[in-house]
Structure 1
């Protein structure tokens, strides 16, 4: 009788033993690291367990910048697409809910790493030189102005003369302007470019301007001709 009772207890314990598996979830990809307002962006997660594949459950996606719930996806198809993220940086995190649908196997919940996605509005860049034309050996100022319909862009502008760097990463001021002064440009025609590298809200943009530098001897010749004609 005692032997039979012990056997029944052992069987009951075996039937109610719960196997709990720890899980990990990672945001492994998005359709792009940055997008424009209104663009569709896809976030994809991957769930793994220490006892093999995760058989079920759901994944919730959150924007931690606004504490907004973006959507839910099944583990079998772990991706969502959103198209209404506002300009700025969005730290996205995924949460796996876990599952008890396969008792006595339980997959425990877990949270992913943060994937930062940037939504960048278009910006406009204008570059100019004063004076233009200039004279070789004399100072001139190259300026860039970055603007946008809503807000003032921040960040850096890099200036180049064709393929040659002139001034790297000049910071925009509070009005979206960046400038530098140089007297090192030789005589001739120059294609000056300015590249705004963008910030968390505004996209990068590049523009160019043609600058003519007159050699000093040419400038003296022109001045002498003008004096002689008076």
Structure 2
């Protein structure tokens, strides 16, 4: 009987040891699960074109980084903070959206990363980008006029381009052409939105004169044309055009 009792005690002790081992493994596993790794993130935003022409499509791209590299997942929302309009959503794996039909003007755009909790014990905290100013150009009004029409060969002719729009005032330069031939390039707009050029180099006949406003950060390129009739008359020697004072 003592021999049997010894074996029973040994078996009970073995079972006890196994139970203790299982409990220790379970506790360690639970403790490991409870040790959540939380990392901060940084979000940035870029644009494919800035400024962008009216009615064009622009691609907005966000980049989300953690303390120790990239983040495994989560979504990114894009907002136009000038109108509080939600522009779209993208996943971290493909963090770009395309936006069309932005109204003319300056648009402060921000990307917001929502964070990630689906990869426990790893948690990525939310973050927002700095504001990106997306400029959408306005189409201004451009008028081209000449001092005389018709004119005669060799007669000094003044070409005046006037760019008008609301505030801010258009800035930049104008290029004048006779057909495909450049008469003057880089003529800067004055405070009144005008650029002028004088030439006496037009030969007799009909000329298609054009003025091309090159645009600036706020305003788009635009072209205006006028047909200039240069009647027959005495042709003087070629005279180089000059910028009007």
- Is the pair's TM-score, using the shorter chain for normalization, greater than 0.5? yes
Matched, 1:165 2:165: no
Say if 1:60 and 1:97, in contact at 8 Å, map to a contact too: no
When residues 100 and 74 of structure 1 are mapped into structure 2, their CA distance, relative to the original with a 3 A threshold, is farther
Corresponding residue for residue 70 of structure 1:
85
Say if 2:106 and 2:134, in contact at 8 Å, map to a contact too: yes
1:14 alignment partner, one of 32, 42, 45: 32
Secondary structure of the corresponding residue to residue 84 of structure 2:
strand
Corresponding residue for residue 14 of structure 2:
none
Secondary structure of the corresponding residue to residue 134 of structure 1:
coil
Matched, 1:124 2:122: no
Corresponding residue for residue 154 of structure 1:
170
1:55 alignment partner, one of 73, 98, 101: 73
Matched, 1:33 2:52: yes
1:105 alignment partner, one of 115, 122, 126: 122
Corresponding residue for residue 207 of structure 1:
224
Q: Normalised by the size of structure 1, how large is the TM-score?
A: 0.66
When residues 152 and 186 of structure 1 are mapped into structure 2, their CA distance, relative to the original with a 3 A threshold, is farther
Instruction: Give, in angstroms, the shift of residue 128 of structure 1.
Output: 1.4
Higher strand residue share: 1
Q: Which runs of 5+ in 2 are unaligned?
A: 1-16, 237-245
Structure number with greater Rg is 2
Matched, 1:138 2:151: no
Question: In terms of mean alpha carbon deviation, does 107-116 or 122-131 score higher?
Answer: 107-116
Say if 1:60 and 1:69, in contact at 8 Å, map to a contact too: no
- Alignment deviations for residues 135-184 of structure 1 (CA, whole Å, 9 cap, x no partner): 33332211012234x44741222111111111113222233221111223
1:179 alignment partner, one of 192, 196, 205: 196
Q: Normalised by the size of structure 2, how large is the TM-score?
A: 0.63
